[in-house]
Amino acid sequence: MKRIGFIGLGKLGLDCAEVFAQHYPVSGYDIYPRTSDLVKVSSIENTINNSDWIFIAVPTPHADGYDGSVPSSHMEPKDFGHDAVIDAINQVNQFATDSKKVVLISTVLPGTTRKNFYSLLDKKHQFLYNPYLIAMGSVKWDMVNPEMVMIGTEDGDRTALAGELIDIYKPLMKNDPRYIVGTWDECEAIKIFYNTFISAKVGLVNMIQDFALKIGNINVDVVTDALAASTMRIMGPKYMTAGMGDAGACHPRDNIALRWLAKEYDIGYDLFDTVMHAREIQAENLAKFLVNEAKQRGMSVVIHGKAYKPDVPYCIGSYSTLVGYYVKQAGFNVRYVDPLADDPTEVVSEMVGPSVVLWAHNRKITYEYTGEQDETKAYCDIPRGSVIVDPWRQLADVDGITVIHYGNTRK
């Protein structure tokens, strides 16, 4: 029988420990006195040594004034505090007489476990990052009915250790959840972007509410109900593959126009300024990546696909040309290959010598909703020695050509 220990019996830890206690022997420690009919509340030393698995559920607090209950967007952003987690790790090092499986469930930002915690833990122990999607008021229900269980390991592989933790969870679960195994960093990112996606979504629907009040003749529910039922594009997995930015004749200019409307009706904030600004910086970051590769290898930059998407000629609102703009701003020439492009500026029909090629078009991802399954074929010969930067991370290695999957930094 696996023995479970909890360090931190607060709002999250105590309820979760009690759920485990319905299936396993559980002991727990908190710096404040806690009581429970199910969990054996004990000293730190006993908790550690009476457990094979040690779950850390201590606070990772934000600084004062950063909880969102008062205005804070004007203040300098700050990371969560890590002192309590570091203290818990030190306690495991100090008191454990044999090897432990340490599971951090507190919320931390992507990269934190690798950078701040793992090096502190004695190497005889093993470390997993396993954040919960749990809301106050329904902790116990949420724990056994999660949308997914995220298990972070050092290299993201479904190691025996991750498998063991899944086996520990299985008897608890009431809804047969997805088990996602990734790197520590990926699971940190899934957790924090899960929450912030919700903030972005609520920010958008509340913006429609603001417009309803200002413009009149709009029931916000009619608008949001129609959008909520739009499962072809905006709800569901569509547009959930990172790659080139939003583009075309409609989306960018709609955002830009809504910026104007927000000002016209004095909404008091400009969400789409941020969205459009981020789109531009993301294009600039990609351009800098291309330029850096090109500089290192003494090659030129070619963007494969100039129109805003494959199979159409329209270069209006194209993210390819936005990236090209920033390539030129970094002092490099840019050429495009695209047999359909309706704007022939800087378009060439073939590549002269090995180049750094941005694989901007991906037919399968763009048209998958229509049932289209064919990948984009090269618009011209790609010379041997070239480097393809694939922001969709779909291209397989090609003989004599290096393929870089932009956005995958796993070793």
Ligand X SMILES: NC(=O)c1ccc[n+]([C@@H]2O[C@H](COP(=O)([O-])OP(=O)(O)OC[C@H]3O[C@@H](n4cnc5c(N)ncnc54)[C@H](O)[C@@H]3O)[C@@H](O)[C@H]2O)c1
Contacting positions for ligand X (CB under 6 A): 7-13, 29-32, 57-60, 84, 87-88, 106-107, 132, 134-136, 139
CB 187 within 8 A of CB 152: yes
Smallest distance from ligand X to CB 338, Å: 47
Smallest distance from ligand X to CB 39, Å: 13
Q: Which is nearer to ligand X, 112 or 362 (CB)?
A: 112
Smallest distance from ligand X to CB 140, Å: 11
- In this structure, how many other beta carbons lie within 10 angstroms of the beta carbon of residue 135? 9
Q: Which is nearer to ligand X, 138 or 329 (CB)?
A: 138
Outline where DSSP puts E strands in 68-203. 101-104, 126-129, 148-153, 178-183
Q: Which is nearer to ligand X, 12 or 262 (CB)?
A: 12
Position closest to ligand X via CB: 10
* Residue 321 tokens, joined: 């040309």
Smallest distance from ligand X to CB 30, Å: 5
Smallest distance from ligand X to CB 38, Å: 16
Q: Using the structure block, give the residue that is written with the tokens 């002192």.
A: 83
Q: Which is nearer to ligand X, 134 or 327 (CB)?
A: 134
In degrees and rounded to multiples of 5, residue 27 shows phi and psi of -120, 160
* CA pair distance 376, 395, nearest whole angstrom: 10
The angle that helices 271-297 and 251-264 make with each other, rounded to 10 degrees, is 140
Smallest distance from ligand X to CB 19, Å: 13
CB 32 within 8 A of CB 51: no
Q: Which is nearer to ligand X, 110 or 391 (CB)?
A: 110
HSE-CB for 26 with a 13 A CA cutoff = 25
Which residues are within 8 A (CB) of 5 and not within 5 positions of it... i.e. 6 or more apart? 26, 27, 28, 29, 47, 48, 50, 51, 53, 54, 55
Q: Which is nearer to ligand X, 108 or 283 (CB)?
A: 108
Smallest distance from ligand X to CB 41, Å: 11
Q: Which is nearer to ligand X, 81 or 344 (CB)?
A: 81
HSE-CB for 216 with a 13 A CA cutoff = 0
Q: Using the structure block, give the residue that is written with the tokens 């122990």.
A: 125
